[in-house]
Structure 1
Amino acid sequence: MRNPTSQPSPALRIVLLNSPHRAIGSRVPGELLPPLGLLMVGGPLIDAGHQVRLINADIAPMTIPQILAGIGRDLPDVLLIGHSGSTSAHPVVLEISAAVRAKWPDITIVYGGVHPTYHWQSILREAPQIDIIVRGEGEVTAPALMAALAARKPLIGVPGLAFRWAGEPFATKPAPMLTELDQARIGWELIDFARHSYWGGKRAVVMQFSRGCPHLCTYCGQRGFWTKWRHRDPVAFAREIARLHREKGVELVNLADENPTSSRVAWKAFLEAMIAEKVPVHIIGSTRADDIVRDADLLPLYKKAGCLRFLLGIEATDEATLTTLRKGGTTTKDRQAIQLLRAHGMIGLCTFAVGFEEETDADYWRLLRNLLSYDPDQVISLFATPHRWTPFHRQSAHRRIIQRDLRLWDYKHQVLETPRVPAWRVFLWVKLIEAVLQARPKALWRAYLQPDPVLRQSQRWYTRMGRRVWLREFRDFFLFPSRPGPTVAEFSGEEQLPEQALARHPRIAAE
C-alpha cells in the first residue's frame, strides 16, 4: 500500500470521483442528479481542513482520458472513487483506477461503496491499483483515514477499512455507526447546481431523510449495509430543503431513502415543517404501500408538503411470492395504496420484479392481469439480481448466471436463468407487460388529458423517458446476449451476507 510521504501539512488534496455509469437509469433520461454519497463524504472532509474537489464523470459521460486530464489539473494526494451504481459501475472503476496508477504511481487510491464493502477481499487480491477500501458508511471513516494518511500513521487503528497487510487482504474492525445523521454536513459547495436536473428539466438534488430499513426483504441489502433505521431531524431537514430552493433554485428533491416514512411521528413532523417553510418544492421517493395505507389520514399533509410521487415496491402480485421474499406486505394493501395516492393528487409508481426460480409463462400472464387490476399510474420492471449483500444471493447460490458482464447488474437486465422459461421469452413477457400497462387508455389519459397540469407534466415526462428506456432495453438484449454460465456460488465466490461483511473475519483486526 502506498502512503504519501511528501505531504508536510495535515491537509491533503483530495479528488472525489463519481465514475461514469452505463446503466440505463443514468444514461437514458438525459438528466443527472448529484452524487449524494460523495457529497456526504465531501462535507466532513472539507470541514476537517482538506482541499476537496469533485469530478462528476457521470455527466456527459466523461472518457478515461478526460477523467485523467481532470485529475491532472491539480494533482491530488488521494483519489477517492465511489458510485451509487456500485456493482454495475465496478468494471469502469477498475479501468479508471488502473489508468491513474499507471500515470501517477504515488497517488493513494481509495474505493468506497456497497460493492467494495462486500467484495473487499477479492478486489484487493485482483486489483493491485486499489490501495484502500472504505467499508460501510464513509462520513466518519473517510476523515479518520485522511488524518492517518496525512500524519503518516498506521491505518490499523482506523475502523472501517480494508487494505493489504503482508501482501494479503486485511480489514480493521467495523466503523461505528453514524447515529446522528445531522452531524455529517453534505458538501453542496462541491457541485454546480445548474448542471443537475430531473423530472423534465427541474433543478434537482438527491437527499436522505433516513437510512436503513426495519424490514427483512430477501432481495434488498439496506438493512445489512446501514445496520439500523435512523432519521434526520425533521425540522432541520425541511430547513435544508428550503434553503436549497431559496439559494440554489432547487425545485425537486429525490429522496434516496428506502423507507422515509417508517416512523409516522418523524415523517409527520417533517411534512409539517415543509408546509411551514412555504417553498414550492416537489418531493419524490420510495416507500412501502403499508405506510401509505397507515397514513391515509395524513395524505393531505403529504400533498401540501410537496409530495408528488412515491415508488411502491410491489415486487409481486401473489401472496406466495411475497411470503417467499419476506416482503411483509399484502396485495390488498398494495392496491389500496395506489388508489389512496391517486385520490390525494399524487402518483403511484409500481415496481414489479421477475426472475425468480419457479416462474412460468402462466405466472407472467397472471402478473399482467393483476397489475392491470392494480391500475398504477406508472410502472417499472426489475430483474431479480443476486448481489452478495442480500439474502437472495444465498437462496440463488445454485442457480445459473446468464450474464457475466457486471456492467449489466443494474436490475434492468436479466442476469439469472429462469429454469422454466428461456431468457428471450422472459424478456418479451416483461416488455409486453410494460407496453400494455403504459399504453392502456387510462395511462394515456393521465399523461395527455388530465386537467391537473403538474400531474400531466409528470406523467408525460415519465412516458417519454419510459419509451426511450424500453427501446434501449431492446437494443441491449441484442448487444449483450445471455449465455449459460456458472452458478451464482461459482461466479460470486464465498457467500457473504451483510452482517458477515461488516463483522470480524479471520483477516480482520481484533477489537
Structure 2
Amino acid sequence: MKITLLNPPHTAIGSRIPGEHLPPLGLLSIGGPLLDDGHHVHLLDADLRALKPDTIVAEVLADSPQLVMIGHSGSSSVHQTVLSLCQALKAQRPQLIIIYGGVHPTYHWDEIMAESADIDFIVRGEGEHTAQRLARAIEDGTPFSAVPGIVYREQGQIRDTPAAEVIADLDQYRIGWELIDHKDYSYWGGKRAVVVQFSRGCPYLCSYCGQRGFWTKWRHRDPHKFAKELARLYREHGVELINFADELPTGSRKAWRTFLEALIAENVPLILVGSTRAGDIVRDKDILHLYKQAGVIRFLLGIEAYSEDLIANIRKGGSVSEDREAIRLLRQHGILSMATYVLGFQEEGDADYWRSYRHLLSYDPDQVQLLYATPHKWTPFYSSVENRRVVQKDTTKWDYKHQVLEAGNVPVWRVFLWFKIIEVLMQARPRVLRRMLFHPDAGVRHAMRWYTRMGRRVWFHEIMEFLFKTRIEKNGPLLSALKGSNFASREYAMQAKGKRSAGTIPISEIKSG
C-alpha cells in the first residue's frame, strides 16, 4: 500500500524560532517496520517546511496514498491542527484512511472519535507493532478486532481493542532513516542531527509527567547495536549530533556504561545531548570521564522546585543536595548542565518566585529552561489542580511555555514578568558569560554561545507574543469544568489491568472533556 506519514506543523515558539529542526523520530520509528513489510512509505514533514494547511493537503493528495498516519511529538498542543487537517483531507478524498497516534490520542481516544468523524483509527501506545499489524489488516481485510492497541468505528459504535503488549526488544524494529534527507535537519548551531532513543519509559513516579505511563515499562536497546547505529549515521550520513529523546537513558548503570564504552570504541566524534536525573549523575561520578570521552556535552536535569516539601509532593524522588552535587560533578568533567524549573505546581506568590530565583542561583547551572506546569488529564498532577482556574483555554498553547493555571493572587502579567526576568538574570550572570567567552573547551564555548543566541531570539519573540497576541481568560473556568474528570485509570497506556477490553461505546454517549 501507499502510506504517507504526516508530521503536522506545530504552533509552539520553540518549533519555529530557532531555524533548526530535528527529524520526527516517532514517525520514522513507524516507517521502518512499514517499509520492511513492503509498503511504499513517504514522509511529509510539514513542521520542517512550515507548510500552510492548503499546501499540506495538496501535497498529501498528490501522492495518492491509501493511508495517512499522523503523529507529532507536541501531541496535545498540535491536536487542533490535526483535526483541521483531517477534515480538509477527508473533504477532498473521503475514501482516504486516516490513522492518528501519539500521546494525546492514546488517552483521549473516545473523545476524539466522537468529535471527529474524519479519523478512522487511533493507535494507542507505542506504535511500531500496532501500526504494522493494522496496515496488514486493512490490506488483507482481516478483522480489526484482532489488532491490539487500536480504536475504530463499526456500525455506529466506537470499538477499542485490548492494550498492545509492551515491545520488550527495542531492537526488533528499525528506524526508517531512509525516509529523510539528513542534510535537512540540524541542531546545536547548524550541526547535522538526529533524535534517538536508547531506552523507553521511566520507573519514577513524578506526578506531572505522562511519559512514564505512556511507555509503561523502562527498557533499553542493546548497547553495542545502538553504538554501531550511531556510528553508522556519522560515517554514512554525516550526522554530528545525537539528541536523546529518552526520559532516563542512564537508568541502568551497567547498560549505559556498556554503551559509552562501545561508542568510544567506534571512535566517532559525535556530540551527545539528553536528559537524565541528578541521582544518576551522582551515582556515576566514577565513570563521568566516560560520558565526556563518548561525546556527552550537556545533560538536562529536572530541578523543578525549590522546596523539599513540594519536591516530595510532586513525587520527584530527588533532593536539593543531590541536584547541586550533580551540577558540580558535570562541571568538574567539562559537561554542561541545563536546569529546568517549573512554575505553577502550586498557587505561588511573588515571594515564591523570588525564592525560586535564589534557589536556581545557588545551583549555578550553565543553562536554564523555565517551564509552566501543564495539567494533562492522564497525569496524577491533574487531579491535584482540578479546582484551579484556567487562564489559557487555547490548547495549542498547552506546550509548557505558556501559563495555563491561575497563580493565586499574582496576575498573569506579573507571573510572565517574573518568568522572563529570571531567565535573563540567570543567563546573563558573570559566571555564565565567562564560561561562554573563555572556557578552555571549544565545544563548551560553542554550546554556550549557540544556546544564548537561540534563547535571545525566543525570549524577545515570547514577549511580543504575550503583549500583542496572547489572550488571557479573566475569571476563567475551573480546570475540571473545562476538561472534565481525570483519566487516572488510563495512566498506563499499555497495561491491561483496569483498561477496557475489546469494548464498545455508542458515539452518542461520549462527552468531550
| Same-fold call, TM cutoff 0.5 | yes
C-alpha distance in structure 1 between counterparts of 2:147 and 2:243, whole Å: 33
Q: 2: distance between equivalents of 1:493 and 1:14?
A: 35
Number of the residue aligned with 2:470: 480
Map of 2:491 onto structure 1: 499
Whether the aligned pair in 1 keeps the contact of 2:121 and 2:150 (CA below 8 Å) is: yes
User: Partner amino acid for 2:31?
Assistant: G
CA RMSD after TM alignment: 1.4
Report the alpha carbon displacement of residue 170 of structure 1 after superposing the two structures with TM: 2.1
CA separation in 2, counterparts of 1:387 and 1:146?
30
Instruction: Report if the CA contact (8 A) 1:213-1:222 is conserved.
Output: yes
In 2, the alpha carbon distance for the partners of 1:326 and 1:180 equals 29
Deviations 1:410-437 (A, max 9, x none): 1000011111322111111111111110
| TM-score after normalising by structure 1 | 0.96
More deviation, 269-278/498-507: 498-507
- Pick aligned residue for 1:435 from 424, 443, 455: 424
- SS of the equivalent of 1:464 reads helix
The runs of at least 4 consecutive aligned structure 1 residues that moved more than 4 Å come to 500-508
Q: 3-state DSSP class of the match of 2:334?
A: coil
In 2: Cα distance, 1:248 partner to 1:305 partner = 19
Q: Which moved more, 1:436-445 or 1:493-502?
A: 493-502
Q: Which amino acid aligns with 2:470?
A: F
In 2, the alpha carbon distance for the partners of 1:493 and 1:147 equals 36
Larger deviation: 235-244 or 388-397?
Answer: 388-397
- Give SS of 1:59's match: helix
Worse-superposed segment, 319-328 or 474-483: 474-483
Q: CA deviation at 1:506?
A: 8.5
Return the offset for 1:477. 1.5
Give the corresponding residue for 2:480: 489
Show CA shifts across 1:327-356 (max 9, x none): 010000111111111110110000000012
Q: For 1:220-261, what per-residue CA distance to the aligned partner results, in whole angstroms no more than 9, with x for missing partners?
A: 012211000000000100000000000000000000001100
1:208 is the counterpart of 2:201? no
Paired residues for 1:285-364 under 5 Å: 285-364=274-353
More displaced 10-residue stretch of structure 1: 66-75 or 281-290: 66-75
More off after superposition, 237-246 vs 362-371: 362-371
Instruction: State the TM-score, normalized to the length of structure 2.
Output: 0.95
Separation (CA, whole Å) in 2 of partners of 1:377 and 1:52: 42
- Are 1:367 and 2:356 counterparts? yes
- Out of 62-71 and 318-327, give the one that drifted further: 62-71
Q: Which amino acid aligns with 1:244?
A: L
Query: What letter matches 1:398 in structure 2?
Result: N
Q: What is the CA deviation profile of residues 450-469 of structure 1, one whole-angstrom value per residue up to 9, with x for unaligned ones?
A: 23211111100000111111
Matched residue type, 1:60: R
Structure 2 unaligned segments of length 5 or more: list them. 505-513
8 Å Cα contact 1:219/1:386 also seen in 2:
yes
Identical-pair percentage:
57
Please give the secondary structure, in 2, of the residue aligned with 1:164: strand
Indicate conservation of the 8 Å contact 1:18/1:82, yes or no. Answer: yes
Measured after TM superposition, the shift of residue 60 of structure 1 is: 2.7
Return the offset for 1:397: 1.2
Report the counterpart of residue 401 of structure 2 in structure 1. 412
Work out the CA distance in 2 between the residues paired with 1:38 and 1:494.
31
Match of 2:454 in 1: 465
CA–CA distance in structure 2, aligned partners of residues 157 and 494 of structure 1: 31
2:510 equivalent in structure 1: none
Q: Is residue 169–residue 507 contact of structure 1 (8 Å, CA) maintained in 2? A: no
CA contact (8 A) 1:34 1:206 kept: yes
Letter in structure 1 aligned against 2:429: R
The residue type paired with residue 480 of structure 1 is T
Amino acid at match of 1:444: L
Q: Which residue of 2 aligns with 1:67?
A: 56
Cα shift at 1:475? 2.0
Give the letter for the 1:242 counterpart.
A
Q: Distance in 1 between matches of 2:156 and 2:499?
A: 15
- Which amino acid in 1 is paired with 2:178? E
Alignment of 1:277 with 2:270, yes or no, is no
Residues of 1 paired with 2:444 and 2:376: CA distance? 35
Greater RCO, 1 or 2 (C-alpha within 8 Å, sep 6+)? 2
Question: What's the secondary structure of 2:138's corresponding residue?
Answer: helix
Picking from 396, 402, 410, the partner of 2:391 is: 402
CA distance in 1 between partners of 2:61 and 2:342 (Å): 43
